[in-house]
Amino acid sequence: MRRALAATKAKLAASPEVEIVDFAPLKHGEGYDIIRELYFEDGGKAIRAQLAAGGEDALVLTEWVIAPRTRRTTTLRRSGRWVRAHIRHARLDRSSFFSFFPAAACAAQRVPPGVLGPLARGGLRRRALAPFPGPANPHDTAKYWGYTAIWNLLDYPGIVFPSGVTVDPAVDVADAAAQPAGPADAYNQSICDGWRPINLQLTARRFDDTMLVAAQEVVERILKA
């Protein structure tokens, strides 16, 4: 993934159509925790009821994402009053994050005040980044959604498209001395193997869906040139 991102940045930087502004993640772990609580406010109760009514088993990733072990709490084992208070708290966390992110993102990018307006209307609003920790994963193994879930929390649109890069075992050799950043990192390393394609993600600010599609066409054209 790092190789694909580096190649993408180099090609975009060489194009007169694109101005590059580096972007640093801002409390993405905190945002991921918030959105995971809000994806299934009932703890998956409605999904389980529908599955039971149809006599069907949950798919592997459906079971994983609504299972209590993947979330800080589960509403299935709590009183109604506690559930309502917890959901209200999570929604307040979402509102706070939504208010914090835009200004903090501009500050972190150190954009000069004189160019903030033009950039905010153009390139600054489009972010090219990874959609997943690594290349395409085997079925039923995608158990880290932070790279896309953060934009769900912010209600920002995103597009995932091919980078044109495929894992090459001769080039993309794992660093044996590197230590995983955490359990999710260790797991994602364990499911990564050779010759899988790598995708990229382009995101934009809220309500910029049409401009995002136009930007994606430009980016993909530059990458294929």
pLDDT in tens, 35-62: 888 888 888 888 999 999 999 999 999 9
Q: What is the mean pLDDT of residues 118-128?
A: 55
- If asked whether residues 130 and 83 sit together in one domain, one would say no
- If asked whether residues 59 and 130 sit together in one domain, one would say no
pLDDT at 78: 56
Q: If you ran DSSP here, which 8-state letter would residue 118 be given?
A: H
Answer yes or no: is 58 within a domain: yes
- Is the separation of the CB atoms in 74 and 43 below 8 Å? yes
Query: Cα(6)–Cα(47) distance, rounded to whole angstroms?
Result: 41
Query: Cα(122)–Cα(19) distance, rounded to whole angstroms?
Result: 9
Q: Which helix (H) or strand (E) holds 198?
A: strand 197-203
Answer yes or no: is 15 within a domain: yes
Answer yes or no: is 113 within a domain: no
Which domain covers residue 135, as residue numbers?
1-23+122-225
- If asked whether residues 8 and 31 sit together in one domain, one would say no
* Helix 209-224, helix 2-13: angle, nearest 10: 90
pLDDT at 189: 86
- If asked whether residues 18 and 32 sit together in one domain, one would say no
How many Cβ atoms from other residues are within 10 Å of residue 205's Cβ? 20
Query: Cα(6)–Cα(9) distance, rounded to whole angstroms?
Result: 5
C-alpha closest to that of 106 among 94, 118, 96: 118
Q: Is the pLDDT score of 141 beyond 80?
A: yes
- If asked whether residues 103 and 150 sit together in one domain, one would say no
- If asked whether residues 225 and 149 sit together in one domain, one would say yes
- If asked whether residues 136 and 222 sit together in one domain, one would say yes
pLDDT at 90: 82
Non-local (6+) Cβ contacts of 72 within 8 A are 33, 36, 37
Handedness of CA 139, 144, 150, 152 (dihedral sign): positive
pLDDT at 75: 47
**What confidence category does residue 72 fall into, taking pLDDT thresholds of 50, 70 and 90?**
low
Answer yes or no: is 161 within a domain: yes
Answer yes or no: is 37 within a domain: yes
Query: Cα(203)–Cα(81) distance, rounded to whole angstroms?
Result: 37
pTM here? Answer: 0.79
| Token pair of 80 as six digits | 């109604």
Answer yes or no: is 114 within a domain: no
